[in-house]
Chain A
Amino acid sequence: MGEDGESPKINHSFLRDYVTEADVISTVEFNQTGDLLATGDKGGRVVIFQRETQSKGESEELGESGEYNVYSTFQSHEPDFDYLKSLEIEEKINKIRWLPQQNAAHFLLSTNDKTIKLWKVSERDKRPEGYNLKDEEGRVKDFSTVTSLQVPVLKPTDLMVEVRPRRIFANGHTYHVNSISVNSDGETYLSADDLRINMWHLDITDRSFNIVDIKPANMEDLTEVITAAEFHPKHCHLFVYSSSKGTLRLCDMRASALCDRHSKIFEEPEDPGNRSFFSEIISSVSDVKFSHSGRYLLTRDYLTVKVWDLHMEKGPVETYQVHEYLRSKLCSLYENDCIFDKFECVWNSTDSVIMTGAYNSFFRMFDRETGRGVTLEAWRESSKPRAVLRTRRVYTGGRRRRGDVGVDSLDFTKKILHMAWHPAENIIAIAATNNLYIFQDRVNPETQ
């Protein structure tokens, strides 16, 4: 958006920046079938994309997948104000989570810093026609003209997508909500802020259960905050939460009502050789995701992604360096606040590949079987529709190849923080500031 056209002498940059700030995508999420893709932005809007359904025939044989088009757009959250604390509440959508589909309608949860909302997305493609008392435009008929009665019939009409708020879960959090996660029981979900995790019932808005509370009696003793939380994909009694200290805690809700005492704690001892001023910042976990199997956990801290086995607490089973070349630049990254960036991480459908974002519009994919990583770029200047993504490289020494990017040339304003992977296919959605990129694997499955 910012790159379009030549700006005249008048300096529009302030206005342009203001406009695009609200368009910055802040969350991306596929639904359980992958047919719908929802994005939330800083302006509090949600845009839902729907995959085109392909008719059977040639296009399927060629291995073409349906494209995603805008299905619906709505304003989820508005800027709000806490009068008691004189605090503005941002409308930015922090997370979107889809509910499993139970009928023709789709439901999603969206949250900003304080309030979670349940939205119903439904289609209407028929409308009743042939009313006796109203004409086509809805005006009341003159009764004397009505000579016979007819039964109104449903006639097809242009597709209309209606989005309505069905529940508003407010006043549950004092601190900023960073995660929501729908339980596999289909009835409850959790919401986590910096110090507490609450469990809600999807039908009940005036009550929630506090299941984790790490707020110390004296705030001066605060040493860590909750950074992310997620329910286990299969076991409705298990959930995990990550902390700013780099630890993961697995909690079992059967053990007690308040899960302050974890069932398992996953942490890796710090490497004393890497100690610096910024060790605490870079060890803070920004995202945690269960694998689809439920056996593994994926975490992201500033420089690495790690895979943890639920059966082994003493350390990760796999560690992948996302951008180790930044370790010597931590001071500058601290100065420009980039060190506080929170990157997300995702699994592919078979848990064999993991993906996370980086700077310069780069994102990284790691094949768990080979241990190898690849760097790709989400930048429209260098990728045309239907072109194959080429791998990129950051030059860190040795032989420099054409196309390598030097560490000092990296654009730290172009960061890939949010992304999603289709639950069944190799389709990924990458949010690059205010642009959404959808990449699809075009390889014919038979030739793989």
Chain B
Amino acid sequence: MSQSHAEATDVCTEAKRIMVQALAKMYTLRTQRGGLRLHRSLLITLVMKSARDMYHSCRTACEQQQQQQENANFTGVASESCETDTNAAHVAEIKDHSLGPKTNVSQSCLKTSAQTDLHYHGTTACSEDKENQISTKLDRHSRKRRGQAAVEPDFLPCKKAKMEAEEVRRNPHNAALRATCCGVKESLTHIPLPRSIVSF
């Protein structure tokens, strides 16, 4: 039982690592000469999706095993501790991959300049990063217009109040990575990983 738990944790870690690397690669793509490479962006997104699915199933297995092992404890407490550990590790990893004092990986994904065509509205940041959460909301609202030529650039400041960050977090459309960052357990169960990678 414990060996399979260890294996599940290994796969969890591996999946997380791949997801974090994918984020870093996405960021690098945006700054590369020649503009965004659609093919590579798509492949990285697919890898992230695979890793996310695997991570999700591993987490579920991990939690189930935790529950079985600590059947005397409250379920919520057990999952909470499991999550806290993994989240701490995850946040630490993201910070390791940060590319500068001003930007961390998740923030940079949304920090669009005029050069980029990438709207990776899935990977919004931790709860501290209000700016990116607001951008998510912007993306969500602009989704209807995405099919047309004009897309609202998300480097414009959002006029919404920051209090709405709470609502945004509960939004089921938010992606796995942001959810794992924030430790919101429920979001993992129903996240379609958005595959929007270009906006034009």
The yes or no verdict on A and B being binding partners is: yes
**A residues whose Cβ falls under 8 Å from a Cβ of B:** 82, 85-90, 92, 113, 174-176, 194-195, 217-225, 227, 244, 276-281, 284, 331, 334-335, 337, 340
A281 touches B199 (CB 8 A): no
A278 touches B47 (CB 8 A): yes
Nearest CB of B to A284, in Å: 7
Nearest CB of A to B7, in Å: 16
Interface residue count on the B side (C-beta < 8 Å):
33
B25 interface hit (Cβ, 8 Å): yes
Alpha-carbon distance between A18 and B50 when the two chains are bound, in angstroms: 36
Binds A, one of B59-67, B178-186, B190-198: B190-198
B199 touches A219 (CB 8 A): yes
Alpha-carbon distance between A224 and B33 when the two chains are bound, in angstroms: 23
B39 touches A227 (CB 8 A): yes
What per-residue 1/0 map shows which CB atoms of B133-165 lie under 8 Å from chain A? 000000000010011000000000000000000
B6 interface hit (Cβ, 8 Å): no
Chain B residues 158-179 with CB under 8 Å of chain A are none
B15 interface hit (Cβ, 8 Å): yes
Alpha-carbon distance between A29 and B200 when the two chains are bound, in angstroms: 33
With contacts A219-B196, A222-B42, A281-B43 known, is A89 near B34, CB below 8 A? yes
**B residues whose Cβ falls under 8 Å from a Cβ of A:** 14-15, 18, 21, 25, 33-35, 37-40, 42-43, 46-47, 50-51, 54, 113-115, 117, 143, 146-147, 194-200
Chain B residues contacting A220 (CB-CB under 8 Å) are 143, 146, 194-196
- The DSSP consensus for interface residues of chain B is helix
B43 touches A244 (CB 8 A): yes
The closest CB in chain A to the CB of B51 belongs to A277
Ordered nearest first, which 9 A-B pairs have the shortest CB separation?
Answer: A220-B196, A90-B34, A87-B35, A86-B114, A280-B46, A194-B38, A277-B50, A281-B43, A86-B115
Of the candidates A88, A222, A276, A340, the one whose C-beta lies within 8 Å of that of B34 is A88
Chain B residues contacting A194 (CB-CB under 8 Å) are 38-39
Chain A residues contacting B198 (CB-CB under 8 Å) are 219, 222
A85 touches B117 (CB 8 A): yes
Chain B residues contacting A89 (CB-CB under 8 Å) are 34-35
Chain B residues contacting A90 (CB-CB under 8 Å) are 33-34
Alpha-carbon distance between A238 and B37 when the two chains are bound, in angstroms: 28
B39 touches A85 (CB 8 A): no
Nearest CB of B to A211, in Å: 19
With contacts A85-B200, A221-B195, A340-B43 known, is A113 near B146, CB below 8 A? no
Chain A residues contacting B43 (CB-CB under 8 Å) are 244, 280-281, 284, 340
Chain B residues contacting A92 (CB-CB under 8 Å) are 34
